[in-house]
Amino acid sequence: MLNFIGTYECKIDAKGRLSLPSALKKQLMPVVEEGLVLKRSVFQNCIELYPMQEWNALMNKINGLNRFKKKNNDFIRKFTAGVKLVEVDANSRVLIPKDLIQFAGISKEIVLSSSVNIIEVWDKENYENAINKVDDFADLAEEVMGTQEDEY
């Protein structure tokens, strides 16, 4: 399982090309050959970048859904809407398709944020708003992690 580290501020050019920061490029190097997948986030107006092995693990879970249930089909259709295979070019750039740029409201300034095993691609202003929107992170941390049996 991959665990990415870091938050990076970058720029996207007029053609939708994103130059990967060197620290992130080093983390992605072991998986770039297998391919990368971009998709719309379910909960936020951002894009998620999946290494192929993480995408395949997620698709294995989704493939377990019963396709004869309408809700499952609706979920699969919506979840995979706009999914794109992308490559890193010789100049360490990723081309972000226009429909995904529009979905995430991306302008020129962007943030790449590690989210455990994927990378979130945000418009910088939207990212700052999302981070500042969490009212009481201490309460959220306790609710999400406080029931864990393991001590950290």
Q: How confident is the model at residue 127 (pLDDT cuts 50, 70, 90)?
A: very high
Q: What is the reported pTM? A: 0.88
Which pair of structure tokens corresponds to residue 37? 């997948």
Indicate the class that CATH gives domain 7-52+82-145. alpha beta
Q: What is the mean pLDDT of residues 47-54?
A: 96
Three-state SS at 49: strand
**Strand ranges (E), the chain:** 7-11, 17-19, 36-40, 47-51, 84-86, 93-95, 109-115, 118-123
pLDDT of residue 149 exceeding 90: no
pLDDT of residue 132 exceeding 90: no
Closest by Cα among 20, 73, 81 to 51: 20
Q: How confident is the model at residue 133 (pLDDT cuts 50, 70, 90)?
A: confident
pLDDT of residue 148 exceeding 70: no
Q: Residue 55 has what pLDDT?
A: 97
The Cβ of residue 59 has, within 10 Å, a number of other Cβ atoms equal to 17
pLDDT digits (tens, 9 = 90+) for 85-120: 999 999 999 999 999 999 999 999 999 999 999 999
